[in-house]
Amino acid sequence: MVGLRRMAILDHYAGFVVDLDGAFDAGDVSREATAFLRRAGKAHKPVVFVTDDASRTPDQLADRFAGIRVVVKPGQIVTSATSAALLLELGHPPTMAIGTPAFVQTLTGCGRRWSPRDPTAL
């Protein structure tokens, strides 16, 4: 019965959004969560991980999954910094980045250039 329930969840939803900070943490993952991520991958169901923590880049967060042998690509991870970068891509005026190096690195990935007068301005 449990196997049928698991398959029904995968069959019922087109994809999954997972909270990295609460419901899931790559440093402390149950076997069930790991198995679910693998089944979702085999079923070609998109899984996106979200976090409000901008202290690590999506690349750094994706690397944490290697330890549990689950392939997660940086593009599957949305941080508060990647959300801010999207807003910048949508044409917001020049903005100053204030935060951790990972936060600033993520913001610069959106195509903005550093200001010659202020190295922290995007």
Q: Would you list the domain boundaries of the chain?
A: 2-78, 80-122
Q: Mean pLDDT in runs of 10 for the chain (122 residues)?
A: 61 88 66 85 92 89 83 92 82 71 75 53 49
The closest alpha carbon to 6, from 29, 40, 30, 31, belongs to 40
Q: Give the pLDDT confidence score for residue 1 in this predicted structure.
A: 40
Task: Write phi, then psi, for 16 (nearest 5 degrees).
Answer: -140, 140
Q: Give the pLDDT confidence score for residue 75 in this predicted structure.
A: 93
Distance of CA 119 to the CA centre of its chain: 26
CB within 8 A of 97, min separation 6: which ones? 103, 104, 107, 108, 120, 121, 122
**Domain 2-78 classified CATH 1.10.3080.10?**
no
Per-residue CA distances from 5 to 11, 68, 115 (Å): 10, 24, 54
Q: Give the pLDDT confidence score for residue 10 in this predicted structure.
A: 86
Whether pTM > 0.85 for this model: the answer is: no
